[in-house]
Each structure stands twice: as structure tokens, then as C-alpha cells.
């Protein structure tokens, strides 16, 4: 039982650190190789790289807040939530591994963005997608991790419910 716990902790921390590492490395490359507000078309105008520093949250929400309120809302509360989620992922065994997998992506992405806010005072965003019928705001790899983690959790929630329903029907 102890080995299983240790393996879970190692797996969770490894996945979280891989997400943080990918995010921080990609932001470092963007900061070093793309001048602020420069626009580089990678795939025509469909995939563009640029270096934009976001001092707020998504869509720059909160950029103009009082600095103390901003610190509480964009650093302290998110860091606390991430620590609680990490603790739940490491300690609680009632969560299915698929859910913990999704949590790891969310935690890693969240840590990447909170780290930027604390160290740089802003979050480096550098990717933009425009497919005509679908376009994004400018984003970074931490945002990708958070979205992927959320999709994993949502998908597992629906699949898990369907599997539970099938098992219930088989019993009847």
C-alpha cells in the first residue's frame, strides 16, 4: 500500500512539474525571441506568435484593480486554491486516476501563471489562433494545460456517469 501511495505522489508531482516546465520554457523562449507586441505569422494569419504581457486575468480582467486587491484576487486566492487541489490530488484516494490526471494539468497551468504574476508582475501570452469560424484570445501553454485538464475532467465525468449507468443496468 505504501508503494502505491509513493508512486501516486511521484506521478502527480511529475505531471504537475512537466506542465509548469513546458509553460515556463515556452514563455522564456517567447520573451527572448519575440519583441513585445511583435506579430509573427507562423501559419499564414491562422497561427500567430506575439509577446504580450497581461497584467490581469483572462481577457485582461482586473488589470486596473487596486494593487492590493489585484494581489489578493490574482495571486493569493489562486495560489491557495492550487495548493488545496494539489493536496487533494496527493492525499485523497477517492478520486479516480483520470480526475487526478486532469487536476495535474490544471494545477501545473495555474502554477505557471501565478508564478509569472508573482515574479514578473504579468503573465506572458504569446499564441493566437484565427481559423475564421473560430479564434482565440492570445494565450500561453499554461492556459492550454488548464483547458486540457478541464476537458479531461468533463469528459471523464460524462464517461464515468455512462459507465456507472451501464453497470447499474447490467445488475437489473
**pLDDT one-digit tens code per residue, 13-72:** 999 999 999 999 999 999 999 999 889 999 988 999 999 999 888 877 878 888 899 999
Q: How many residues does the chain have?
A: 172
Residue 128 sits at the vertex; the CA angle it makes with 57 and 34, to the nearest 5 degrees, is 90
**Mean pLDDT of the region 113-141:** 94
CA atoms within 13 A on the CB side of 93: 7
Look up residue 171 and give its three cell numbers. Answer: 445488475
Residue 165, C-alpha cell as written in the block:
449507468
pLDDT tens-digit readout, 61-95: 878 888 899 999 999 999 999 999 999 999 877 78
User: Which residues are marked as active site?
Assistant: 125, 143
Its domain, for residue 26, covers: 2-171
| Residues in contact with 40: Cβ distance below 8 Å, sequence separation at least 6, in sequence order | 34, 48, 49, 50
**What's the confidence (pLDDT) of residue 168?**
39
- When divided into structural domains, the chain yields a total of 1
User: What mean pLDDT is predicted for residues 143-158?
Assistant: 95
pTM to 2 decimal places: 0.87
Tally Cβ neighbours within 10 Å of residue 127: 19
Amino acid at each position: 500500500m505504501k508503494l502505491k501511495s509513493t508512486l501516486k505522489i511521484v506521478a502527480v508531482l511529475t505531471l504537475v512539474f512537466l506542465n509548469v516546465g513546458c509553460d515556463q520554457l515556452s514563455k522564456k523562449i517567447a520573451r527572448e525571441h519575440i519583441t513585445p507586441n511583435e506579430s509573427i505569422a507562423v501559419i499564414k494569419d491562422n497561427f500567430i506568435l506575439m509577446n504580450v504581457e497581461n497584467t490581469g486575468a483572462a481577457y485582461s480582467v482586473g488589470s486596473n484593480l487596486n494593487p492590493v486587491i489585484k494581489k489578493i484576487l490574482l495571486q493569493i486566492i489562486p495560489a491557495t486554491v492550487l495548493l488545496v487541489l494539489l493536496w487533494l490530488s496527493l492525499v485523497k484516494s477517492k478520486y479516480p486516476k483520470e480526475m487526478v490526471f486532469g487536476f495535474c494539468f490544471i494545477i501545473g497551468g495555474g502554477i505557471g501563471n501565478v508564478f509569472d504574476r508573482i515574479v514578473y508582475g504579468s503573465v506572458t501570452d504569446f499564441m493566437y489562433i484565427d481559423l475564421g469560424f473560430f479564434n482565440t484570445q492570445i494565450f500561453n501553454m499554461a492556459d492550454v494545460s488548464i483547458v486540457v485538464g478541464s476537458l479531461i475532467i468533463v469528459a471523464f465525468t460524462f464517461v464515468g456517469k455512462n459507465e456507472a449507468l451501464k453497470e447499474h443496468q447490467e445488475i437489473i
